[in-house]
Amino acid sequence: MLKFDLRAPTTLLGVFLLFALLILVLFEQLAHGVDGTVQLLDNAFALPSWQEPLGTDQFGRSNLARLSAAIQISLWMSLLCVITAATLGTVAGIAAAWLRGWVDASIGFVVNVLMALPGLILVLLIGALFPGSFTALYIAISLVLWVEFFRVVRAQTLSLLASPEIEASRLYGFGPLYLFRRHLLPRLLPSLLPLACFGAGNAILALASIGFVYVGLQPPRAELGLMMVELFPYYSDAPWVLAQPVLCVFALILSFNLIAGGFRHDH
């Protein structure tokens, strides 16, 4: 059965990191109340103070407000992508394994086309089609992510459908929906949940990566990769400002990877 081992120190650290970032966002939303797009050029690179706990950037914008916006974009993007990819991958995987024949063959064809290119190149190309569009990036990253879900679900469903318990249930006359709920889902979840966590980390990584090469979301949007490349020229003036988005990406990806490791198979 599936067990989520929260007592493992590494998992605990992962959950803690994610909560810390969420609390930062919550604090900014409730108590800070400064618009992250307002520029105060005479206040550039102000040191942290009571009004600006994380200081200001090269245009005098509030770092806290911008970081919070960037973390929200990253988390929303990863959440949407993972839900879409997991749903699509699971439905397509079960359909392919259940129906075989031309359904399996045609989904397999689509997967082969998608896997032929490295994921980031595909995301870059789609990003080029619709510059700066959140929706286009969401579709592109989901397209890359769902393949992994599909392959795992298809392989497991194939072997599960041949198992005696499902054969028995089918002979009793239970419908596909019951089989899915009772037999397939409980057996698939232990592999789906860690995949989802790694997927979330990868979505954040992809978004930051294309932001970093200036192809993703466009300024003045606050996005972690974009913030890094914007702040890099000011490294010697304010290294501590550059460190903020770097640390955020690091904490986000690390936390999802650690949480993914917390799901253990209990045989």
Provide the 3-class DSSP secondary structure of residue 56.
Answer: strand
Q: What is d(CA 203, CA 77) in angstroms, rounded to the nearest whole number? A: 7
Q: Does 149 bind other proteins (CB under 8 A)?
A: no
Selected binder of other proteins within 208, 226, 238, 260 (CB under 8 A) = 208
Choose the stretch contacting other proteins; rule: CB under 8 A; options: 47-55, 61-69, 77-85, 249-257. Answer: 249-257
Q: Cβ contacts of residue 246 below 8 Å, gap of 6+?
A: 228
Closer Cβ to other proteins, 12 or 34, answer by number: 12
Q: Does 212 bind other proteins (CB under 8 A)?
A: yes
Binding-residue total with other proteins (CB under 8 A) = 36
Choose the stretch contacting other proteins; rule: CB under 8 A; options: 117-125, 149-157, 173-181, 185-193. Answer: 117-125
Q: What is d(CA 104, CA 85) in angstroms, rounded to the nearest whole number? A: 18
Provide the 3-class DSSP secondary structure of residue 264.
Answer: strand
Choose the stretch contacting other proteins; rule: CB under 8 A; options: 38-46, 88-96, 181-189, 206-214. Answer: 206-214
Closer Cβ to other proteins, 143 or 188, answer by number: 143
Q: Is the dihedral of CA 188, 135, 227, 144 positive or negative?
A: positive
* Least distance between other proteins and beta carbon 257 (Å): 6
Q: Is the dihedral of CA 48, 54, 55, 58 positive or negative?
A: positive
Q: What is d(CA 125, CA 140) in angstroms, rounded to the nearest whole number? A: 9
Selected binder of other proteins within 6, 23, 99, 118 (CB under 8 A) = 118
* Least distance between other proteins and beta carbon 253 (Å): 5
Which of 106, 195, 194, 100 shows the shortest CA–CA distance to 148?
195
Selected binder of other proteins within 121, 155, 168, 185 (CB under 8 A) = 121
* Least distance between other proteins and beta carbon 86 (Å): 20
Selected binder of other proteins within 225, 226, 230, 262 (CB under 8 A) = 225
Q: 249 and 77 in contact (C-beta within 8 Å)?
A: no
Q: Does 250 bind other proteins (CB under 8 A)?
A: yes
- 115: number of Cβ within 10 Å: 14
Q: Does 235 bind other proteins (CB under 8 A)?
A: yes
Q: What is d(CA 79, CA 259) in angstroms, rounded to the nearest whole number? A: 15
Q: What is d(CA 161, CA 164) in angstroms, rounded to the nearest whole number? A: 8
Tell me which DSSP letter residue 263 carries. Answer: E
Closer Cβ to other proteins, 92 or 212, answer by number: 212
- Residues making contact with other proteins (CB under 8 A): 112-113, 115-122, 124-129, 205, 208-209, 212-215, 225, 228, 232, 235-236, 239, 246, 249-250, 253-254, 257-258
